[in-house]
């Protein structure tokens, strides 16, 4: 089965109940990101890294579904903006956009 934002969110609602607002879901997302960060991603096995990243995305799908938007569409829209920006890079794989 290929999971989607909708199927994952339906599973989450059936499993955890209907969220009253975004706060508990965002809190859970922060916990998942912290798990990824605190497990030192560079020493995880590929399987562990995949699992931790998947946990983060699963919760983000819940945030998006509860917020009433398609996460993939939001990413596409944001990437259009990102591709038009100027970036300050340090060569370490990350950077910050330069304010106009």
- Give the pLDDT confidence of 8-41 residue by residue, as tens digits: 999 999 999 999 899 999 999 999 999 888 876 6
Local confidence band at 69 (pLDDT 50, 70, 90 cut-offs): very high
- Length in residues, the chain: 100
Task: Name the residue among 21, 8, 23, 2 with its Cα closest to residue 55.
Answer: 8
Q: What is the distance between the alpha carbons of residues 61 and 8, in angstroms, rounded to a whole number?
A: 7
pLDDT-based confidence at 86, cuts 50/70/90? confident
Q: Which pLDDT band, with edges at 50, 70 and 90, does 42 fall under?
A: low
The predicted pLDDT at position 41 comes to 61
Q: Is the pLDDT of residue 81 over 90?
A: yes
Instruction: Report which DSSP code applies to 57.
Output: H
pLDDT at 60: 96
Tell me the C-alpha to C-alpha distance, in Å, between residue 19 and each of 4, 16, 27, 48: 19, 8, 12, 28
- What is the distance between the alpha carbons of residues 91 and 100, in angstroms, rounded to a whole number? 22
pTM higher than 0.75 for the full model?
yes
Residue 100 has pLDDT above 80, yes or no: no
* Long-range pairs, 79-88, Cβ under 8 A, ≥24: none
Q: Give the span between the Cα atoms of 62 and 8, in whole angstroms.
A: 7
Around 87, how many Cα atoms within 13 Å sit in the side-chain half-sphere? Answer: 11
């Amino acid at each position: 089965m290929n999971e989607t934002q909708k199927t994952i969110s339906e599973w989450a609602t059936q499993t955890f109940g209907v969220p009253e607002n975004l706060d508990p879901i965002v809190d859970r997302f922060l916990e998942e990101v912290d798990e990824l960060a605190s497990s030192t991603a560079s020493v995880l096995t590929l399987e562990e890294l995949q699992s931790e990243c998947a946990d983060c995305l699963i919760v983000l799908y819940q945030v998006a579904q509860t917020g009433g938007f398609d996460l993939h569409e939001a990413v596409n829209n944001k990437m259009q903006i990102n591709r038009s920006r100027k970036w300050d890079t340090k060569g370490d794989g990350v950077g910050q956009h330069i304010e106009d």
